[in-house]
Structure 1
């Protein structure tokens, strides 16, 4: 059959177009029904603590995702610069995830522990004082604003409704003890949220001012957690390829 005969016959063209689209769609959709799990089996990934959760809220509020991604792609140049490529498991408790759509600044998926708390604070207040060529704006008000965590329990309950395993009952608490350990289960219990947040804020001098809990405390705590949950040294090279 000549290609011209297909082009001049609109009915045949429609039928063949639908057939090609259907075949292509089936090739993409059918394998999904045979995948038992799309999230990698990995130890260490947990929900955010109350202070980290408020820090993430501020990260979203300030639009940090518009210039920074949190998704290292599985390419050699990406891994040489940022570290192991991002796992789906690392974003399983994000609502919404912070993968981003562009990089005006570097990827932040593994920024946790890369710099000190003092560096992070100064960088957020005056980026050019540390990186002269940076075009990032400063966020000095984060040091000035007291952190509002009056609704932290409600925020945790809202996330619990979409699948984040914060606990409210004894049964849920016991399940978290088994999955995350007793210490972390305490931090993930909704009833402990205010006490846990204040304790974590005071445990480290996140923003350089131990006398107040500021928005800077929360944001730095969140940034210092990013990429630190999974110990990739425990896994052989290529271990996660089976999940791709």
Structure 2
């Protein structure tokens, strides 16, 4: 084998052809299964898209680089199942653009963090992590208490709709209003959010202050939604809690 490689190095065109062949085989192995994904990955009937507020929080999660330390992919390993819950299914991320799967674990996996901690815990943790986890090496994000810019939400939903996420015209047109209403459960628009996105959508002032919509509201809303958009993983794996 080493002699073959040595001879190829002396024949530049043969080496280039071999590299192209190897890359083509690797690419084919990765790409070919995507042509049958509709047959192999079944869409959960109860899967809902992110609300505008949760989607804004997801953008902040990506902007702040949170994905670099926190994966959103529970593997089928005993210790991960015990710590995080059912392993992740591809269908759960059908509406994620981009998806945030990975195995980087500087911090814990967040695939099913929704509902695990209170809103107040998340706010305190994001503002100063060591106040709640003394040994934490996570940086603080106190600036998340600034007002949330909702001006691009309608455009974001419209773009995702073109990629197959089921946002209809009413969802797109009301994106800014729905983001504000989700953080104000007593407002006139709160009921409309659940009519559009389902009764499982959480309505509350996530940062504890309903008077102002902040980036903290959005990020906490997103974290509380993780693992709750569908219950398919609990129904298809052993140890179904239902």
Give the TM bin, normalised by the shorter chain.
0.7 to 0.9
Instruction: State the number of aligned residues.
Output: 213
Maintained 8 Å contact 2:86/2:234? no
Q: 1:156-195 counterparts in 2 under 5 A?
A: 156-168=157-169, 189-195=171-177
Q: Offset of 1:42 from its aligned partner?
A: 2.1
Gaps of 5+ in 1: 169-185, 240-244
| Residue in 2 that maps onto 1:214 | 214
Matches of 1:218 and 1:134, distance apart in 2? 23
| Residue in 2 that maps onto 1:130 | 132
Maintained 8 Å contact 1:91/1:97? yes
Q: Offset of 1:43 from its aligned partner?
A: 3.0
Maintained 8 Å contact 2:147/2:212? yes
Q: TM-score, normalised by structure 2?
A: 0.76
Q: 1:19-98 counterparts in 2 under 5 A?
A: 28=29, 32=33, 36-98=38-100
Maintained 8 Å contact 1:66/1:101? no
Q: Offset of 1:117 from its aligned partner?
A: 0.5
CA RMSD of aligned residues (A): 3.1
Matches of 2:36 and 2:95, distance apart in 1? 24
Q: Which has the larger radius of gyration?
A: 1
| Residue in 2 that maps onto 1:111 | 113
Maintained 8 Å contact 1:147/1:213? yes
Q: TM-score, normalised by structure 1?
A: 0.75
What CA deviation, in whole Å up to 9, does each residue of 1:77-131 have, x standing for no partner?
2111111111111111111111245111000000000000000101100110110
Gaps of 5+ in 2: 186-203
